[in-house]
A and B are shown apart, each in its own frame.
Chain A
Amino acid sequence: MSILEIKNLSKSFDLKDKHEINVLLDVNFSVQKGECFVIIGPNGSGKTTLLRILGLLENPTGGTIFFNDKAITGLSAKDKVKFRRKFSYVRQKPVVRNVSVFNNVAYGLKIRGMRYRDYTEKVNAIIETVGLKGMEKKNARALSGGEMQRVAIAMNFVISPELYLLDEVSANLDQLNHKLLDDFIIKIKQDKTKTIIICTHDRFEAIKYADRIGVLTNGTISQIGTPEEVFTSPKDEFTAHFVGYENIFTGIARVDMESGLTSIKMDDFCIVTSEHKEGPVKLYIHPESIIIAKNPPENVSSLNLFKGIVEEVRELGNTCHVIIKCESSTFLSTITKVSLIKLDLHPNSEIYINFKATDVKCL
């Protein structure tokens, strides 16, 4: 069931010299309940405007947004409040009120009519989770940037909304805060009644969190698909240029005590990585790291060696993309034009691919 449906959404701003600037043009997509939908796009592509419109902080110029099949565009101020209370909008730059940490975090619950004795426990618990225990009485504006971001996360997450709108939230986070946000997002993702929309320009973040990715370029969604689809077959040149190419897979990781390496079990084969991981992981291999050989290579150090069939060859000037099918998975390898001629690759050619365990990165 789709919780959010965006139809023909557009937004333009009037500039002072009477010129109109179109920030969003005919944006269409829908988000399923329980899904983590990541909108990826370069700076200035309209991500923040889109998220602000979804958060009912800005009115679109045209188009409609449906939340649970109800149109939420063009609402009265009173109705907007009703829907905003189901959402949570975390911005890139944290903004806190000039009151204590506790009061900042409690604010959303307080204005929903909750009593002090009913929210105290909840607020204190989340303050502890974000690592600010002992700072409850401190003025939130006197905190460091990272601590302030943690207050912002706590105050937006404590209200436990149906829809989370996160705008480049990890852009300014240090490692500790990144981990904290990760834990929160993983927890929210487990709750299938909660839906997350994340805007980011960081492709690795998109791969890590997304169930599906929407690529926003020049104010329109140019492609929607799973991370695997978007990163191995970008729809147009611009998307390809922006997202880059990656081989993305999901599997279950297990550390082999003897070798100290991790083997990741996928549907019909295993990939070995030097990173230590356990449990379900997403992994990516850069296309330039995948080496193609006509015959089974001998004396190579690569731990990952697979037999496959060339599915497609895309020539891109000096370089070529070779799409290779190994069992049920598809790999993308970037090679030079010279190599292509030397290897004499055509669709349906039988080849071998290999890559080093150190080239397999886990997210």
Chain B
Amino acid sequence: MFEEIIEGILEALHLIFTFDLEIWNVIGVSFRVSLTSTFLAALFALPIGSFIGLRTFRGKKELTNLINTFMGFPPVVMGLIIYLLLTRNGPLGSLGLLYSTTAMIVAQFFLALPIITGTTKAAIESIEPDLKETILSLGANEFQLWGELIKHSKKSIIAGFLVAFGQAISEVGAVMIVGGNLRWETRTFTTAIVEQTRRGDFGMAIALGTILIVLAFITNYFLTRMQTKD
């Protein structure tokens, strides 16, 4: 077993530095899908999360419960729902998106959305009310206040983004169902690992796993640096 791991790591290095096209394609698809979905989710989650965090309205508690539930939503079920919507006979079947990276982005978007919304809401809510009032009393309008609070909760929001990205890049169920694990098209690290393991090609599977971990580490390193930089 140990030998296989070492072999896998060596193969990983070999694959990367020999610029194996298929590996680079898998890396490209994985990152494109996960980063796009997480960024898109953040684009929607930041205003939604801060709106819920800043305002008091009827049903806020129920909405919060719903978001919290969706933060732990099983990806496989999300994949199933998107599949049923996009399948040829489904309501959105005419779009022809099934088994495309777009479908994968959509599925991961809905998985990331509640995570970033929930963390943004919590971050905005945890800001001391005195700071909000000081900003308001200095004459800020709602938009200026919002910008200031987002800046202030930057660290927590980046943390939420990291969690969502981590989930997206390591997620397998949803991308498998809606992406179909098509070679050169929708194959990601995780679906490739599943494929190689099923075939008994453990070396390749370990190689892919190692690259995934290293790349996730590098991405997180840069995002964390952004988070801690003042």
Residues of A within 8 A of B (CB): 52, 55, 57, 77-78, 81, 84-85, 87-89, 91, 93, 95-98, 107-108, 111-112, 139, 152, 155-156, 159
Structural contact, B139 and A85, CB atoms closer than 8 A: yes
User: What is the CB-to-nearest-CB distance from A166 to chain B, in angstroms, rounded to a whole number?
Assistant: 12
- Is B128 among interface residues, defined by CB-CB distance under 8 A? yes
A14–B137 Cα gap in the complex (Å)?
Answer: 25
Chain B residues lying within 8 Å of A108, measured Cβ to Cβ, are: 138-139
* Neighbour of B131 across the interface among A57, A77, A95, A111, CB < 8 A: A95
**Chain B 8-38 against A: per-residue CB contact (8 Å), 1 yes, 0 no?**
0000000000000000000000000000000
Residue of A57, A93, A111 with most partner-chain B CB within 10 A: A111
Q: List 19 A-B contacts (CB under 8 A).
A: A52-B133, A55-B137, A57-B136, A57-B137, A77-B141, A77-B142, A78-B141, A81-B139, A81-B140, A81-B141, A84-B137, A88-B137, A88-B138, A95-B128, A108-B139, A111-B140, A111-B141, A139-B230, A152-B134
Docked pose: A96 CA to B148 CA in angstroms: 12
A residues near B141, Cβ cutoff 8 Å: 77-78, 81, 111
**A94 to chain B: closest residue by CB:** B134
Q: Please report whether the interface of chain B is mostly helix, strand, loop or mixed according to DSSP.
A: helix
Compute how far the CA of A310 lies from the CA of B30 in the bound complex, rounded to whole angstroms. 96
Residues in A with CB closer than 8 Å to B148 are 97
Which B residues are CB-close (under 8 A) to A52? 133
- Give the shortest distance, in Å, between A138 (CB) and chain B (any CB): 12
A57 touches B133 (CB 8 A): yes
Assuming A97-B152, A98-B152, A111-B144, is B130 touching A91 (CB within 8 A)?
yes
Whether the Cβ atoms of A87 and B137 lie closer than 8 Å is yes
CB pair A159–B128 under 8 Å, yes or no, is no
Q: Among residues 59 to 93 in chain B, which have CB atoms less than 8 Å away from a CB atom of chain A?
A: none
| B130 neighbours in A (Cβ, 8 Å) | 91, 93, 95
Q: Is the CB of A111 within 8 A of B138?
A: yes
The 6 closest A-B pairs by CB, nearest first: A85-B139, A89-B137, A108-B138, A95-B134, A95-B130, A81-B141
Q: Is the CB of A91 within 8 A of B134?
A: yes
Q: Which of B128, B139, B144: most chain A CB closer than 10 A?
A: B139
Q: How far is the CA of A52 from the CA of B230 in the complex (A)?
A: 32
Question: B194 an interface residue at 8 Å Cβ cutoff?
Answer: no
In the bound assembly, the distance between CA atoms of A194 and B143 in angstroms comes to: 29
Taken together as a complex, chains A and B put the C-alpha atoms of A88 and B133 apart, in Å, by 12
In Å, the complex CA distance between A189 and B100 comes to: 71
